[in-house]
């Protein structure tokens, strides 16, 4: 709660304009509110509404089920290795994005 649109875009590796469009839809449907930052009025902070918090457990359960299904047949050791490998991919991606942002 209270994350900026820009920080959210970086966290989920999505273009800022795409995040803004999707947040507008979520706001229109009553799942979030966006308020100006007290320290920078140009920055919008995103907060979940009661409606969003009410569906959060169902979404988390759906994601848990999805995760279990996509690694079905993997041993525990293979699952741990996959997570370690994906962590390396994430770190490489973050490094590349930081480099690209520095060039802007």
- Residues 47 and 1 sit within 8 Å (Cβ to Cβ): yes
pLDDT 10s per residue in the chain (104 long)?
Answer: 999 999 999 888 888 889 999 999 999 999 999 999 999 988 999 999 999 999 999 999 999 999 999 999 999 999 999 999 999 998 998 899 888 878 87
Q: Residue 6 has which token pair? A: 């820009």
- The two structure tokens encoding residue 40: 């920078």
pLDDT at residue 102 in the model? 84
1-54 sits in which CATH class?
A: mainly alpha
Whether 57 contacts 64, CB under 8 Å: no
CA distance 1 to 8: 11
pTM score above 0.75: no
Assigned token pair, 70 = 């996509």
**What H or E segment, with its residue span, contains residue 11?**
helix 5-11
Instruction: Note the pLDDT tens digit of each residue in 38-65.
Output: 999 889 999 999 999 999 999 999 999 9
């Amino acid at each position: 709660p209270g994350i900026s649109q820009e920080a959210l875009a970086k966290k989920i590796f999505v273009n800022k304009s795409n995040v803004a469009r999707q947040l507008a839809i979520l706001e229109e449907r009553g799942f979030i509110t966006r308020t100006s930052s007290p320290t920078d009025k140009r920055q919008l902070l995103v907060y979940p509404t009661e409606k969003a918090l009410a569906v959060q457990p169902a979404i988390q359960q759906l994601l848990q089920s999805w995760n279990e299904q996509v690694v079905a047949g993997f041993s525990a050791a293979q699952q741990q290795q996959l997570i370690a490998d994906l962590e390396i991919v994430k770190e490489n991606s973050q490094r590349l994005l930081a480099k690209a942002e520095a060039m802007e």
